[in-house]
Amino acid sequence: MQEYDVAIIGAGPAGSMLARFLGNKSLKTALIDARNLDKPYEGKGLIKSCGGMLAPDAQKFLKSLKIEIPAYIQDDIQPKYVKTYDVQSKQTRRYGRNYINLDREAFDRFLLEGIKADNFFGFMANDIKKENGHFIINDKIKAKILVGADGCQSKVRRVFFPDLGVRKYISIQDVLENQLSREYECYFDEKISDYYGWSLPKGDKTLVGFAIKEKDNALEKFEKFKKAKGFGKEIERQGTLILRPGFFHKISCYENLFLIGEAGGYISPSSAEGISYAFKTAKILFDSNFDVKTFKRKMFKIQLNIFYKNLKSLIMYVPFFRKMVMRLSIFN
CATH code assigned at 290: 3.50.50.60
Model confidence, pTM = 0.94
pLDDT of residue 45: 52
Q: Amino acid identity, residue 138?
A: N
Residue 330 belongs to some domain of the structure: no
Residue 332 belongs to some domain of the structure: no
Residue 83 belongs to some domain of the structure: yes
Using an 8 Å Cβ cutoff, are 302 and 281 in contact? Answer: yes
Beta strands in the chain (DSSP E): 2-9, 29-33, 53-54, 81-86, 91-96, 100-101, 118-121, 128-131, 134-137, 141-148, 167-176, 184-188, 197-202, 205-213, 234-244, 253-254, 257-259
Q: Collapse the DSSP code of 326 into the 3-class scheme (helix H, G, I; strand E, B; otherwise coil) and give the result.
A: helix
Residue 328 belongs to some domain of the structure: no
C-alpha distance from residue 303 to each of 1, 151, 245 (Å): 38, 18, 10
Burial class (CB in 10 A: 0-12, 13-18, 19+), 231: middle
- Chunk the chain into consecutive blocks of 10 residues (it has 332) and report each block's average pLDDT, rounded to whole numbers: 96 97 90 91 61 90 96 91 92 90 92 94 96 96 97 94 88 89 91 94 90 90 93 88 94 96 96 95 97 98 97 92 82 48
Q: Collapse the DSSP code of 314 into the 3-class scheme (helix H, G, I; strand E, B; otherwise coil) and give the result.
A: helix
pLDDT of residue 51: 63
Residue 21 belongs to some domain of the structure: yes
First to last CA, the chain: 61
pLDDT of residue 61: 97
pLDDT of residue 332: 44
Q: Is the dihedral of CA 157, 161, 162, 165 positive or negative?
A: negative
For residue 60, give its domain range. Answer: 2-321
pLDDT of residue 44: 59
Residue 263 belongs to some domain of the structure: yes
pLDDT of residue 292: 97
Residue 331 belongs to some domain of the structure: no
Domains: count for the chain: 1
Residue 217 belongs to some domain of the structure: yes
Q: What angle do CA 276, 277, 283 make, to 5 degrees?
A: 95
How far is residue 314's CA from residue 320's CA, in Å, rounded to a whole number?
10
pLDDT of residue 330: 56
What letter would DSSP give residue 71? G
